[in-house]
C-alpha cells in the first residue's frame, strides 16, 4: 500500500496540507517515498497537565505538535524517526485511560487515546511501520531510551531527599537521567549525555554518582585495552560502536499517592484504503 501511494497526487496534497498547517515554524515533510498514513488527536501527558496534541503518522516518521486551530494551524512541531521508537502499553490511572508510552533515545512520553480500539489501531500501525523500516535497513530495535518525566503534580515533595516541600518559591526540577521530580539541592550537578544533548544536563545527585562511576569504569576498561595497531591508510580511525510544555503554569488536581506510573504489566481520522 505504501509503495502504491508514494508517488500519488493525493498523498502529495495531504503532506502539503500538513506542512501548511505548521507554517514557517515547521520543517519540510515532503521527501521521496514518504507517505502520510493517518492522523488524529491524542492526549499527551505533559509536565504540568495532560494536553491534546495533533499526531501524524508517516511511513518513516511520527510528527506531532500543539493545536492552535484544529485542521488549520499547529505549532511546536516535533519529528520522531520511527526507527528510534519503541512502544509500551501502560495501565490506566484515575486521570488517564488507554495509555501507552512512546520511547526514543532522546525523549520518552506517555499518550492516551479516546478509546481502547483507537489505542489498538495506533499501536498496530506504528508497530507495522517500525517493523517495515527495521527490516528494510537491517537495524536492530532501539534498546536505550530517555526516561519519561514524572508530572509535576505527582508529588509535593522532592522524590530524592523526601524532605523538601515544593511551593511557589521552591521550584520543581527534573533529573534528565531518571525523570524524577527533585529539588534544587538534590539536582545541582550537570552531566554530559551526548545521546540527549550536546550540553551538560541537570541530573539528581544519585544519578550523578552512578554516571560518574560508569564513566570511571569505562575509562579503566579503555586503559586495559592493548595499544591499537595503526593502519597504514592515512585518515583511518577505528569506529566506535520540551518544550512548549515548560512554559505552562496550569494547575492540575493532585495525583493520588499510590498512583502507578510508567510500569508495564485520536481520533484516528484518516486511512488510505
pLDDT (tens, 9 = 90+) of the chain, 273 residues, equals 566 666 788 999 999 999 999 999 899 999 999 999 999 999 999 988 899 999 999 999 999 999 999 989 999 999 999 999 999 999 998 888 999 999 999 999 999 999 999 999 999 999 999 999 999 888 888 888 899 999 998 899 999 999 999 999 999 999 999 999 999 999 999 999 988 889 999 999 999 999 999 999 988 888 887 665 544 333 323 322 344 444 444 444 444 445 444 444 434 444 333
Tell me the three state secondary structure of residue 87. Answer: strand
Q: Are 7 and 31 in contact (CB under 8 A)?
A: no
8 A C-beta contact, residue 162 and residue 123: no
Predicted local distance difference test score (pLDDT) of residue 104: 94
Domain boundaries, the chain: 3-137, 149-220
Q: What architecture is domain 149-220?
A: 2-Layer Sandwich (3.30)
The pLDDT of residue 95 is 82
For residue range 120-156, list pLDDT tens digits in order: 999 999 999 999 999 988 888 888 889 999 999 889 9
Its CATH class, for the domain covering 3-137, is mainly beta
For 91, list phi and psi in degrees, rounded to 5. Answer: -70, 155
Is the overall model pTM greater than 0.85, yes or no? no
The reported pLDDT for the residue numbered 249 is: 42
C-alpha cell at 184: 534544587
Decide: helix, strand or coil at residue 270: coil
Predicted pLDDT at 228:
57
Amino acid at each position: 500500500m505504501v509503495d502504491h501511494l508514494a508517488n500519488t497526487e493525493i498523498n502529495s496534497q495531504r503532506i502539503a496540507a500538513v506542512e501548511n498547517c505548521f507554517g514557517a515554524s515547521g520543517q519540510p515533510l515532503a521527501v521521496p517515498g514518504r507517505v502520510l498514513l493517518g492522523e488524529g488527536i491524542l492526549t499527551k501527558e505533559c509536565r504540568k497537565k495532560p494536553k491534546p496534541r495533533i499526531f501524524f503518522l508517516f511511513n518513516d516518521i511520527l510528527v506531532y505538535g500543539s493545536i492552535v486551530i484544529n485542521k488549520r494551524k499547529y505549532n511546536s512541531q516535533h519529528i520522531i524517526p520511527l526507527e528510534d521508537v519503541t512502544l509500551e502499553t501502560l495501565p490506566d490511572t484515575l486521570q488517564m485511560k488507554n495509555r501507552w508510552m512512546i520511547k526514543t533515545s532522546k525523549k520518552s512520553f506517555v499518550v492516551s487515546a479516546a478509546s481502547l480500539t483507537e489505542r489498538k489501531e495506533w499501536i498496530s500501525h506504528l508497530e507495522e511501520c517500525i517493523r517495515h523500516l527495521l527490516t528494510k535497513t537491517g537495524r536492530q530495535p532501539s534498546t536505550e531510551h530517555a526516561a519519561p518525566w514524572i508530572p509535576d503534580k505527582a508529588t509535593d515533595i522532592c522524590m530524592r531527599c523526601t524532605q523538601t516541600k515544593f511551593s511557589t518559591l521552591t521550584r520543581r526540577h527534573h533529573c534528565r537521567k531518571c525523570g524524577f521530580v527533585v529539588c534544587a539541592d538534590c539536582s545541582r550537578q550537570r552531566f554530559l549525555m551526548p545521546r540527549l544533548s550536546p550540553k551538560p544536563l541537570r541530573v539528581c545527585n544519585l544519578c550523578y554518582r552512578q554516571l560518574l562511576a560508569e564513566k570511571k569504569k569505562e575509562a579503566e576498561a579503555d586503559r586495559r585495552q592493548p595499544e591499537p595497531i595503526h593502519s597504514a591508510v592515512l585518515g583511518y580511525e577505528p569506529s566506535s560502536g520540551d518544550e512548549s510544555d515548560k512554559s505552562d503554569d496550569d494547575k492540575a488536581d493532585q495525583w493520588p499517592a499510590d498512583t502507578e506510573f510508567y510500569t508495564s504489566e485520536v481520533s484516528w481520522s484518516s486511512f488510505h484504503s
